[in-house]
Amino acid sequence: MGERSGERANGASRRGFLAALAAGGGGLAFAELLAAAGVSEGPLSRAAVAAAERLAGLTFTDEQRDLVLAGLEEQAGAYAAMRELPLANDVPLALQFRPDAFSEERPALLQRVRTLPERPPRALRPVPDEELAFLGAAELGELLAARKLSSVELTRIYLERLRRLDPQLLCVVNLLEERALAAARRADQELAARRPRGPLHGIPWGAKDLLAATGAPTTWGTGYFREQVFPGDAAVVSRLEQAGAVLLAKLSLGELAWGDVWYGGTTKNPWRLEQGSSGSSAGSAAATAAGLVGFAIGSETWGSIVSPCTRCGATGLRPTFGRVSRHGAMTLSWTMDKLGPIARRVEDCALAFAAIAGPDGLDPTVVDRPFDWTARPDPRKLRLGYVPALFEADPPPGEEEARAHELAALDVLRRLGFRLVPVTLPALPVEPLAIILTVEAGAAFDDFTLGGGVDTMVRQGEESWPQVFRLARFVPAVEYLRANRIRSLLIREMNRSLAAVDALVTPSFGGDQLLLTNLTGHPAVVLPNGFRSDGTPTSLTFVGRLYGELEILAVADLYQRETGFHRLRPPL
């Protein structure tokens, strides 16, 4: 094809996009705006953007218009890529409409108490307190149940570490000391009366600050919402309270769930303090890895659990879409947002997931599917797939050590008895479908954009929410719906790819798999698989079939126990 052919195609895309705006974005009225602005067919210009601003009810500066122009060029290429795939009339949207979702009658939040078989508690309490801070939730639960440790004592240990180490990490938005100590005292009383609520009873945890919690602001990481207070707890906060867990703190997230930069600064990687923790579950991953909480809850739309867990050496579970209620959580994307646990061990992720999964009558997307960690299968009897091309491709510059760790992980899995089955991922356009997130995020924060709130955000420029929110106004509805129809095909093909295996091992950032699996809603477990020569962690991911959390957690737990990378501690 060559560069000249590409230039002609891009020019055609620009003209087609301009025509689409004129035809679909207001018809004659918009065409008249373009004509009045002296805009004709040809390359997009500031004048074209300015004319479109009037229709959208926005006003940009020239600098912002230049940024939008650059983004529109990229979006036009995405539209062209999607149009190359023929779609029959019977291809549905990857969306569902539930009329009963708008009923004013809501069932009460379900009380879901799960317990594990009793295991012999640790004979001696470890000392010093730092040893306690890095134990897994399951181990801490044994000590609490055996009355060798009190929840109040454990809570004070974590509160002290949060105060002492947060100035280095910048991971705490609000400390909830009064609430935490009251919950810890209640947990101790119930445990003394032999009324255990489950394996998390008395375990302190942290919430990503996009989850509402009574008595504290929910800032979403941006100063604009710094004083925002909701009247009740998010569903996952209520579920964990029912399980007896102790909420310690609201933890940082990148502004409106992007990156690790929030109004309080940049949350740091505990393994390398001059480096950000990545995001957007920045504080959840950093605090967990640094032993400041027993576990945390994060969220993922496109990598916000996988990425900070990789950077900070934590273990995270991104559940299947529709497994965990998002009631009381900030909405970024109605069809892609997922809440999940971040911990130091796979088992702790399983315990936390068991406590928060299932419908509550408040989030209509949530399904009721069984999950019983006590009945987990023998992982060696599971069929484990891998995509050879993702392990054989040249690694990105500077990621040679990460690739060596990924290949070493395959050797470990073979040594554990797995026969790795080659799998091929869907050969469909994935990157262009990112406009689904662009549009939904833009819609979720449309009033914020129209009211000028985006101008108060810390991060501006090309790679920022202000740019994305503004660009969202320029995506034709037809393109958004077309992307969702392709998404339907992607889900079908991904299900076929995984039909012959129970789990898939993959580089965490291999190819398009991270965006692909977030679009299709498949679950994933991310965990450390080694350390670079500079001391920072790398990661490996296990992807499961829809609602296949039990299988991928079982495989990941076996790998983690064999390798032991999760036992290492950052040098704080």
533 as an active site residue: the answer is no
Task: Identify the pLDDT of residue 32.
Answer: 58
Marked catalytic residue, from 150, 280, 307, 539: 280
| Alpha carbon distance 161, 94 (integer Å) | 45
Active-site pick, 13, 304, 307, 508:
304
pLDDT at 26: 40
State yes or no: is 497 an active-site residue: no
pLDDT of residue 87: 80
From the list 141, 8, 29, the residue with the least C-alpha distance to 80 is 8
Q: Which of 13, 208, 268, 284 is catalytic?
A: 208
Sheet arrangement for strand 338-343: 172-175, 246-251, 204-208, 295-300, 338-343, 315-318, 524-531, 537-544, 503-507, 384-386, 420-422
d(CA 301, CA 321): 10
Query: In this structure, what are the phi and psi dihedrals at residue 27, rounded to the nearest 5 degrees?
Result: 60, -130
Start and end residues for every CATH 3.90.1300.10 domain found in the chain: 129-371
Amino acid 101: pLDDT: 55
- CATH architecture classification, 129-371: Alpha-Beta Complex (3.90)
Return the ∠ at Cα 251 (arms to 301 and 212), rounded to 5°: 75
Give 447: exposed, middle or buried? Use CB within 10 Å, 0-12, 13-18, 19+: exposed
Which pLDDT value is given to residue 118? 39
pLDDT at 190: 98
Counting beta carbons within 10 angstroms of the beta carbon of residue 564, is it exposed (0 to 12), middle (13 to 18) or buried (19 or more)? exposed
Beta-carbon contacts of 386 under 8 Å, excluding residues fewer than 6 positions away, are 410, 420, 421, 422, 423, 504, 505, 506
Structural Rg of the chain based on CA atoms? 24
User: For the whole model, what pTM was predicted?
Assistant: 0.88
The vertex-99 CA angle with 96 and 104, nearest 5°, equals: 130
pLDDT tens across 346-391, in order? 999 999 999 999 999 999 899 999 999 998 899 889 999 999 999 9
| Residue 83, pLDDT score | 84
Res 510: pLDDT: 94
pLDDT (0 to 100) of residue 82: 87
Residues in the chain, pLDDT under 70? 1-42, 97-127
